[in-house]
Amino acid sequence: MATTDSGKKRRGAGKHRKVVESGRKQTENSTGADTSASRLGQNILWNYLSGFTSIFGLLLLYPLAVSIVGASSYGLWVLAIGAIQMLTMTDFGLGAGIVRTLTGIPDNVDYQRDRRMFVTAALLVFLILATVLTAVYTLIFPLYLQAVTIPEQDQAILWPMTILAGLTLFISLVGRGMNSVLWGLNRPDIERKAAVIAILGRAAGYAVVVVTDTGLLGIVVVECLSLMLPPLVCMVAVARRFSSPVFGPGLWRDHGKPLIKISSVMSIGALSQLGIYQLPLFLVGPTLGLHATTAFGALMRVYQSCRLVVSWIALPYGYPLRIATPDKAAQILKNCLTLTVGIGLLMGVALATIPTELMTAWMGDDFASAALGLSMLALGIMAEAITQPANLVMNLRGSAVRASILSLTTLVLTLPAVWLATFTDSITVVALATVLPSFLMSGVQMYLANKDVSYGLQRSDLTRWGGMAGGALLYAGFALLVAYFLPTWPTILVVGAGLAVMALRMLKLVRADGAVVAEMSEENSEALVAQRQAQNATEDNARSTTDQEARDAEEPGRA
């Protein structure tokens, strides 16, 4: 990673001089963020490469696992891995707090110790959190399983599965904190590259399970190892940049306590979003059984994958939005929203128009009854396309309290809706109840985010988005025609080709945003240094005044 002296670049320095200067800057300030003009595009590109590798890998491996161990047995692991994912995301807003705080410490060689001490505090906080949540999981999850009917042949695997899952949870939580540090350095691509290797390793592991006939235990071991790889890579990457932890006076007062304070504001929203996306699965388990859990888990895996695709566009814009001036932030926000809505429309249209083809090609004819539930996810995907940019704005530079209240409201609407839907014994109704509240609240979130950073909407923006919606409808009609005349797999390939075309079209907009980010980064660093110097001067003056008053008070006594 190298930080770029963009000011010297703009003054026309030669290529060799740029390389030498960049290398010297890397040595002097190894804890700095990567603000090169190409970084935004690279981050999104790696998000897509790793993301689609993960999506296609996970989607293809899911039915393979079901065929190896059976739907009911794999449903048991679906619940376990769902608990891991739920608790891994239970960071109480600490991840967003790390990004917000680290980007607020000057990216300057004089502040390297401050940056290293802050990362030390963040690591300690996540170690404590990981220990507590792992203990909670180890104690509570076996009790939850008592409410689920478990096949007799799987009873013996419960404790080995719980222990392996607990270890995976601990490492994943610590790695989540370190990945947040990498986000604060504008290097989310590191975790994404590790995710590619992890999913390829999982596929190889499945082959070993088939050959060795180790069944559900083999599946559990393979998936746990693949889940642990990316967080371990994040830990190593942070250690290489920040070296050994820095302990000293003010570690808790200046870094740990402020991090917890700012994160506590975001914790309600973080926990609420966690409940929105994870808790419905645990309502289905005891009410509809393990076979239905496997089917609903398949739908949620698709939903999660589509949400990730949206986040791979939105999250790399977090760093630019955090450092941008108000006028440039509006343009960056609009570009981010345009990209997320565009990809959301295409994915939503695909799920809404050819759900049966997708479901049967993926899971087989036995799961065709869940196809209509797959089409319901289109509403949730559009909600994500609208709310993810809005949440970035509110959490990183606006009212985190407002974002938390909105997420809590959505959760309060979602859980009762899902619980009531389980009484219908219909996966379709449960899927609709899972995503409808988020869709209804998405417009409210966009409206309130506009109070923090104005979208600056103009007629041309509305025209462009209207054109995108019209194009999506035409694309839907085309997909229906293809599905009518062609077999399943050609239909899926045609729809997938549309996604690829959209991804290529986005590169022009991403490159333009990357150049703006590189220009803003130096201005932001200089402003932060000046702000810190002014703050330190004010504190020094206050201490000098206090000391002088104390001396003046002591002089009469000595006289």
To the nearest whole percent, how much of the chain has pLDDT over 70?
A: 77
Residue 440: pLDDT over 90: yes
| Of the listed ranges 85-89, 289-293, 418-422, the one predicted with least confidence | 289-293
Locus of tokens 């997909």: 479
What CA–CA distance (Å, rounded) separates 392 from 332? 12
Give the 3-state secondary structure of 31-51. Answer: CCCCCCCCHHHHHHHHHHHHH
Q: For position 23, what pLDDT does the model report? A: 42
Q: Mean pLDDT over residues 484-511, rounded?
A: 67
Phi, psi for 3 (deg, rounded to 5): -90, 145
Question: DSSP labels for 50-99?
Answer: HHHHHHHHHHHHHHHHHHHH-HHHHHHHHHHHHHHHHHHT--TTHHHHHH
Tokens at 208, concatenated: 């070993």
Query: Tens digit of pLDDT for each residue in 208-259?
Result: 988 888 888 898 899 999 999 999 999 999 998 888 888 878 888 888 888 8
User: Which 8-state DSSP code applies to residue 368?
Assistant: G
What CA–CA distance (Å, rounded) separates 510 from 498? 19
Q: Mean pLDDT over residues 117-125, rounded?
A: 90
pTM (2 d.p.): 0.65
Q: For position 413, what pLDDT does the model report? A: 92
To the nearest whole percent, how much of the chain has pLDDT over 90?
A: 13
Tokens at 268, concatenated: 């309600």
What CA–CA distance (Å, rounded) separates 128 from 280? 28
Tokens at 519, concatenated: 């220009």
Q: For position 30, what pLDDT does the model report? A: 60
508 confidence band (pLDDT: 50, 70, 90): low
Which residue from 244, 92, 98 is spatially nearest to 178, judged by alpha carbons? 98
Under 8 Å between Cβ of 80 and 166: no
485 Cβ partners below 8 Å, 6+ apart? Answer: none
What CA–CA distance (Å, rounded) separates 507 from 370? 35
Under 8 Å between Cβ of 491 and 357: yes
Locus of tokens 């000098």: 544
Q: For position 9, what pLDDT does the model report? A: 42
Query: Tens digit of pLDDT for each residue in 317-335?
Result: 777 777 777 777 787 888 8
Under 8 Å between Cβ of 106 and 534: no
Residue 186: pLDDT over 50: yes
Alpha helices in 398-487 (DSSP H): 400-421, 427-452, 459-485
Residue 558: pLDDT over 60: no
60 Cβ partners below 8 Å, 6+ apart? Answer: 362
Roughly what angle, to the nearest 10 degrees, separates helices 94-102 and 371-397?
Answer: 40
